[in-house]
Amino acid sequence: MSLIDFLQRVLGKETNTSKNVAKERLRLVLVHDRSSISPHILNALKEDMIKVISTYMEIDEDALEVSLSNEDDSVALVANIPVVKMKRDYQG
């Protein structure tokens, strides 16, 4: 990631360009190849996580990153979820 990309992301100026969409799709394909989980399932997991976490806190969904990490014989779910603020009133 270049300094310009970093600054655009921090300042919220990164758009959902075709480059970014293609990069996300490629990342999902690579995850599938490494972990034997389909990109569809990973995306569904990401959407479910957003739904549950959003009940308790406001998050930056555009900056949310979910990936799988392969080490030896195990797979780890890695999530980077930027929290904007905590919700004071639980809507359960």
pLDDT in tens, 18-71: 777 777 777 766 665 666 677 788 788 888 988 998 888 999 988 888 877 777
CA dist 77 and 87 (Å) reads 25
28 lies in a domain?
A: yes
Asked if residue 6 has pLDDT above 70, the reply is: no
43 lies in a domain?
A: yes
Range(s) of the domain holding residue 77 = 17-86
52 lies in a domain?
A: yes
Strand, helix or coil at 42? helix
CA dist 41 and 28 (Å) reads 10
9 lies in a domain?
A: no
* Number of domains into which the chain is organized: 1
24 lies in a domain?
A: yes
74: its two tokens: 């195990």
